[in-house]
Amino acid sequence: MKIKIISPIISDIFDEEVREDVKNYVSETTTVDVCHLDYGPASIESEYDMALCVPNFLEKAMEAEQEGYDGIISSCFADPGVKAAKEILSIPVVGPGEAAMLYGSLLGKSFSIVTVLPNVIATQENNSKALGVYEKVASIRSADIPVLEVSEKSKLKSALLREMIEAIEVDKAHALILGCTGMLGVAKDLQNELFTLYGYDVPVIDPLMSAVKLLESQISLGIKQSKLTYMKPPEKLRVFPQTVSTSI
Amino acid sequence: MKIKIISPIISDIFDEEVREDVKNYVSETTTVDVCHLDYGPASIESEYDMALCVPNFLEKAMEAEQEGYDGIISSCFADPGVKAAKEILSIPVVGPGEAAMLYGSLLGKSFSIVTVLPNVIATQENNSKALGVYEKVASIRSADIPVLEVSEKSKLKSALLREMIEAIEVDKAHALILGCTGMLGVAKDLQNELFTLYGYDVPVIDPLMSAVKLLESQISLGIKQSKLTYMKPPEKLRVFPQTVSTSI
Amino acid sequence: MKIKIISPIISDIFDEEVREDVKNYVSETTTVDVCHLDYGPASIESEYDMALCVPNFLEKAMEAEQEGYDGIISSCFADPGVKAAKEILSIPVVGPGEAAMLYGSLLGKSFSIVTVLPNVIATQENNSKALGVYEKVASIRSADIPVLEVSEKSKLKSALLREMIEAIEVDKAHALILGCTGMLGVAKDLQNELFTLYGYDVPVIDPLMSAVKLLESQISLGIKQSKLTYMKPPEKLRVFPQTVSTSI
Amino acid sequence: MKIKIISPIISDIFDEEVREDVKNYVSETTTVDVCHLDYGPASIESEYDMALCVPNFLEKAMEAEQEGYDGIISSCFADPGVKAAKEILSIPVVGPGEAAMLYGSLLGKSFSIVTVLPNVIATQENNSKALGVYEKVASIRSADIPVLEVSEKSKLKSALLREMIEAIEVDKAHALILGCTGMLGVAKDLQNELFTLYGYDVPVIDPLMSAVKLLESQISLGIKQSKLTYMKPPEKLRVFPQTVSTSI
Amino acid sequence: MKIKIISPIISDIFDEEVREDVKNYVSETTTVDVCHLDYGPASIESEYDMALCVPNFLEKAMEAEQEGYDGIISSCFADPGVKAAKEILSIPVVGPGEAAMLYGSLLGKSFSIVTVLPNVIATQENNSKALGVYEKVASIRSADIPVLEVSEKSKLKSALLREMIEAIEVDKAHALILGCTGMLGVAKDLQNELFTLYGYDVPVIDPLMSAVKLLESQISLGIKQSKLTYMKPPEKLRVFPQTVSTSI
Amino acid sequence: MKIKIISPIISDIFDEEVREDVKNYVSETTTVDVCHLDYGPASIESEYDMALCVPNFLEKAMEAEQEGYDGIISSCFADPGVKAAKEILSIPVVGPGEAAMLYGSLLGKSFSIVTVLPNVIATQENNSKALGVYEKVASIRSADIPVLEVSEKSKLKSALLREMIEAIEVDKAHALILGCTGMLGVAKDLQNELFTLYGYDVPVIDPLMSAVKLLESQISLGIKQSKLTYMKPPEKLRVFPQTVSTSI
């Protein structure tokens, strides 16, 4: 099967790392391709960024379906464009946030998300309500690290570890979720450190890899999003823009 | 005070009627201006349409703030762009869906929404969960009339009346909400007919006028959206597109 | 339009201040009159006080409707008598608690109420459940100041500010509600101080003024409480008492 | 132990039947006395009636405590005055609605209430929310019989049976609650008929007898309402009325 | 009436104390017998222990029904085997956990459970969800004392008192529940100490005695578990084991 | 990787079909073995059956871990023994019910389960509450076919199709779940028929295959159940029985 991961930002900073990391998790017969946007924000840290990234994400998603991909992932924990893509595509679409929250619901009586900045907490909370697992959310904490700085792994890991300990001890979280798909390649290390250093034998869930596995499994099972919830949009006039660079 | 209603679609079909109708509800000292989009969809009937309308809506919203408006409304029941606008603006922003659902929660022990097409039901349900009033929702029903046909008032009213009777008798709704801001000028008639013809003395809530009144009242009270929930987006590179017509 | 605010207590201590303060918020064409009870408690700080104030409040409310008022407010955050008045009157009735909680739900992902004494917390919590917005309540805190001492504004403000900071930092409140209608004229100051001194740009919601604005807007919109929820009471024998002073 | 059942209405129509019926359920060492009000409504069928009955109910409740009763019941399914009495008394107070709903929650995965008139449905629903068992409520149905006509047992039973069948078959109720304390002496017959005639082996719960048993058990266990939830009201001036007959 | 309390463990350590203590609570005409298991765990401190105790508990429960008992209690706060026994028996079955949580819901706006070990917290939380009172749970705390050490009353009481104070002050609990049926004869003392030493006038609920009283009251009222929820299991081949001692 | 599916019943009727069917879904490098119990019930259709199957299921699960399996599935929709196995094992354990409900939550705004007999509905509902997705459950319907008759595929499919249509049209289900792991090899056919014959493009979820895929993915991701929720049971004396045939 062929999966397309679309990074809904205008930079390729995560693309190569995603390509490498995902190989550790997918089945031998799964091909994963990764791309990013032509226009939109440099990273997703607000509803505003989500709004700006979705139109081009949806164009990329439609292209991917036409090119024969079997499923699509929007590589951002806030799942931007996922609901719209579930409407316009006939192949399965998965968001990393929804995937990770389902694993969190399965693995413990409660979970906490540790995300990048406080700006995205309300959005993630609303997503958990739409998904139906809000009751399982112990807390959503911020590591106070912007998306574009998560590649400093050592700083990232120590900030995440600090918040994870608080999530367990103060918020009573029993499972932990990385709240940004840019937090690549650190879940296993954090899981090990929580256990060996602190005695907490709890899962640390990587959202992008969770989405990849849930997408693979949907394709294997022959199931996709319900077209009663995600109905095909009616045909009508829709005026699209073209890209040109400006910044604010 | 000066209020700007932005119709998040590319046509002016509702603009004049909104301008006229709103005069019946606002205070003498309130000025209301109405505009529509340069690019985006012809109407909002899906998450896909919402995604396409938001970027230009946000541009219009930012312009309106710079021009000195005291508050902004996104004139669509699905509240597209409202959360993002609450982040990027310093003036109050209100969505008709959230406004109408709050009146519904206040006025009865339960409410039903009667909307245009089944495509938008899941979105409206998610919005009620984010707003916190999902427990009050008796049902969300569709009148099976596309947005661009709601101007046929007689057909619209008879379809709405039929669904409202079902909402009361089958779903146990105690208040009723029009689920599209294009359903202009019919709330009072429907409220009267439900009472005089069927004996149901229940409120029928017009979402756009509800939003206007809640926005006026926020401005009077000197309150706006919390900047802890709707934090100012971090500065970063954001690449914007320009408009050109194409249709699908 | 003509609005009657009924203070459900036997003293006039708040009447004049309400008359003055409300002028800052209502439309030019709105007349607001204020009255208090002939018998009942000196203030409302328990279910017991609520029970004692309601009979005379309802008499005053019926009188007001007969005198041609367009809407009624019960001026206490616990909304005493509001449900009964919604039954027996044909004009809109609003409670300050329900009004403020709806603004709180609209403006942030969560809100806290800071009220007078711990005695009323359970009542306010139950009211949030009946209204349907309990999920939005971050906390209900007490400033530990009896109703009859809230007129010492400086002491009041410093106690409220202290609890509001705790509500934001400990309870994760994103909007704040004054939990007593006697806390007049302090909402704006507290909102300013939270922002300028602590950097928290959050709304501070005055419950009585919120009720006035929601009542005005209901009258403008031509909507009132659903008579399916608040049905007209059946006719029957009801024996009423007359007043005479005694104290316990 | 000595229990006082206060019928919060101005007539004695139920008193003798209560005295007789309760003997079938209480322990040999329990004495039960019954009284009714001096002023208030002829029956409770609205929030308005509740408001009118509570002041005299509270006077009777305080008297009963002074006379040495060990516990108090407000004999109406809507539990009027129960929260206030829990505040002002040091002995346990139980409402029939709360008692019956707890048995309903214990005995099946869901329960329905069949009450007198639709006027009281919203109140009972709010009470289930305050009690915390709203999720268990399958439905609240009305038999459309006023309180003062429930003594026509044959008519009452056939109306209740009809609604109970609907509650089971349509609303998926697994336990049934009589929604009026005047529905005396019919629970066992209805339980038998549901089983022998329809094959439904489900409990039919009598609210007043449930309250009596829960009160007896509280007294035996030495527990009563929490004084953190039902705090003693602060001392203050409270002006009381005296009774004189008038009707509306 | 005759009640059988089955201690779902292989030791008699609690039997005599239960026999004595229960006499303080039951009606004069109630006989209570106590027994324990032939095979199963030494105590219940995990889902694993629950799984091991249930088969023999169900055998004992069926025997008791055949011997003419009027009702059965599974003497463990986790209510092991209670749902299965409700299916296979025609007499009422009550679990101490469900009984105590209902009293907790009745007596205060929230309750906390203080249990033996953290191992059982998730189970108790799930039980509160199935019972429908999860919203009332302020917290479930562990006293960190294994079941087999709860007979050291002085150590037990001081650990419970410490956690109860935390439950009230930190978790905002308004009623308290002992989370193990082995915590015999300490509820009243703890209730007294909380009041006299700390000023907290809150109920402390003994789960086993609560179950006894709720069972007695069900038998008096002539009601039992709904056979729509707890349907009689279909007949089929079921292969049973015999007992032999081994330990792990 | 090596997965062990334990059928928690005493017959091998499903074993071969499971072995064959699962090959269509797992990765090439995954080995799946299937076994059944030595003692317990012939099928699981009650809490009583669940109680009887769990002890031997847990023995088989412990054996499987010792034999080097990487994960375990309890092949029954009610997930018997899953929580206990999650405690005593160090490898991941998944239940088909929890797996299917998570896919249902992901794929649509609501889902219905169509199960074998009404006896298991309450159990499945409680499981959805413990998992945290109860809000997503549109309904749980019974096809009224005992487990041991589900192998008559044609009769099974027509009964399932009938209930699925009702689930969609009456209960507003947007995704469908087969509520018994014995309903093998029919999900895809039903999904196709719902679409081609009725126009409903909705997922039909096979619970056992869902569990297999979620288990595979957990093993790939290196995550398992949280040991804070599913703590290792304390060591103690546990007396086990041996098997001998008897039937009731």
Is E166 near chain A, with CB under 8 Å?
no
Give the model's confidence band at F150: pLDDT under 50 very low, under 70 low, under 90 confident, else very high: confident
Residue E242 has what pLDDT? 63
Residue C248 has what pLDDT? 45
Region B169-198 average pLDDT = 97
Look up the pTM and report it.
0.96
Of E108, E131, E217, the CB nearest to D217: E217
User: Within chain C, which residues score under 50 in pLDDT?
Assistant: 244-245, 247-248
pLDDT in tens, F181-225: 999 999 999 999 999 999 999 999 999 999 999 999 999 999 999
Q: Which residue has the higher pLDDT, F28 or F248?
A: F28
Interface test with B, best of F105, F107, F109 (most B CBs within 10 A): F109
Nearest residue of A to residue E126, measured between CA atoms: A109
Residues from chain D that touch C230, judged by Cβ atoms under 8 A, are: 47, 122
CB contact under 8 A, E47 and F240: no
Q: How far is CA A158 from CA A152, A189, A193, A195, F228, in A?
A: 10, 11, 10, 15, 22
Nearest residue of D to residue F135, measured between CA atoms: D135
From the number of C-beta atoms within 10 Å of its C-beta (0-12, 13-18, 19+), residue F248 rates as exposed
pLDDT in tens, E172-213: 999 999 999 999 999 999 999 999 999 999 999 999 999 999
For residues E5 and E26, give the distance between their C-alpha atoms in angstroms, rounded to a whole number: 13
Q: Can you tell me the ipTM of this complex?
A: 0.95
Mean pLDDT for all residues in chain E: 95
pLDDT in tens, D195-248: 999 999 999 999 999 999 999 999 999 999 999 999 999 999 999 876 544 544
Shortest distance, CA A109 to any CA of chain E (angstroms): 7
Residue F243 has what pLDDT? 52
Is C102 near chain B, with CB under 8 Å?
yes
Residue D238 has what pLDDT? 95
Is B229 near chain A, with CB under 8 Å?
yes
pLDDT in tens, A175-212: 999 999 999 999 999 999 999 999 999 999 999 999 99
Is A109 near chain E, with CB under 8 Å?
yes
Q: What angle, rounded to 10 degrees, do the helices at B187-198 and B153-169 form?
A: 50
Residue A240 has what pLDDT? 83
Residue F245 has what pLDDT? 47
Residues from chain A that touch B49, judged by Cβ atoms under 8 A, are: 233, 238
CB contact under 8 A, E209 and D221: yes
Rg, chain D, Cα only? 17
Residue C168 has what pLDDT? 98
pLDDT > 70 in chain B, percent: 97
Of B26, B110, B131, the CB nearest to C105: B131
Nearest residue of D to residue B174, measured between CA atoms: D122
Q: How far is CA F11 from CA B206, D133, F7, F54, F207, in A?
A: 62, 41, 8, 15, 20
Mean pLDDT for all residues in chain B: 95
Is F165 near chain A, with CB under 8 Å?
no
For residues E127 and E132, give the distance between their C-alpha atoms in angstroms, rounded to a whole number: 8
Is the per-residue pLDDT at A132 higher than 60? Answer: yes
Residue D240 has what pLDDT? 83
Is the per-residue pLDDT at A243 higher than 70? Answer: no
Residues from chain E that touch C118, judged by Cβ atoms under 8 A, are: none
* D197 contacts: CB under 8 Å, gap ≥ 6: none
CB contact under 8 A, D238 and C123: no
Give the model's confidence band at B147: pLDDT under 50 very low, under 70 low, under 90 confident, else very high: confident
Counting one residue from chain D and one from chain E, the pairs whose CB atoms sit within 8 A come to 141
Residue A242 has what pLDDT? 63
| Partners of residue A113 on adjacent β-strands | A140, A177
**Domains assigned to chain C:** 2-95+209-221 (3.40.50.12500), 97-208 (3.40.50.12500)
- DSSP for chain B reads -EEEEEE-SS--TTHHHHHHHHTTTS-TT-EEEEEE-SSEESS--SHHHHHHHHHHHHHHHHHHHHTT-SEEEE-STT-TTHHHHHHH-SS-EE-HHHHHHHHHHHHSS-EEEEES-GGGHHHHHHHHHHHT-GGGEEEEEE----GGGTT-HHHHHHHHHHHHHHHHHTS--SEEEES-TT-TT-HHHHHHHHHHHH-----EE-HHHHHHHHHHHHHHHT----TTTSPPPPP--EEEEEE-----
- The answer to whether the CB of E175 falls within 8 A of the CB of D226 is yes
Residue A143 has what pLDDT? 96
How many other C-beta atoms lie within 10 A of the C-beta of residue A195? 14
Residue F240 has what pLDDT? 83
pLDDT in tens, B111-123: 999 999 999 999 9
pLDDT in tens, D45-93: 999 999 999 999 999 999 999 999 999 999 999 999 999 999 999 999 9
Residue C242 has what pLDDT? 63
Among D residues 118-137, those touching chain B with beta carbons less than 8 Å apart: 122, 125-126
Residue B248 has what pLDDT? 46
pLDDT in tens, C81-107: 999 999 999 999 999 999 999 999 999
**Do D and C share at least 3 CB pairs under 8 Å?**
yes
Q: Which value, to the nearest 10 degrees, does the dihedral of the CA atoms of residues F209, F210, F211, F213 take? A: 90
Nearest residue of A to residue F99, measured between CA atoms: A106
Nearest residue of D to residue F140, measured between CA atoms: D172
Residues from chain E that touch C126, judged by Cβ atoms under 8 A, are: 109
pLDDT in tens, E74-133: 999 999 999 999 999 999 999 999 999 999 999 999 999 999 999 999 999 999 999 999
CB contact under 8 A, F221 and A214: no
Shortest distance, CA F64 to any CA of chain A (angstroms): 20
- The answer to whether the CB of A148 falls within 8 A of the CB of B236 is yes
**Do F and B share at least 3 CB pairs under 8 Å?**
yes
Residue A147 has what pLDDT? 87
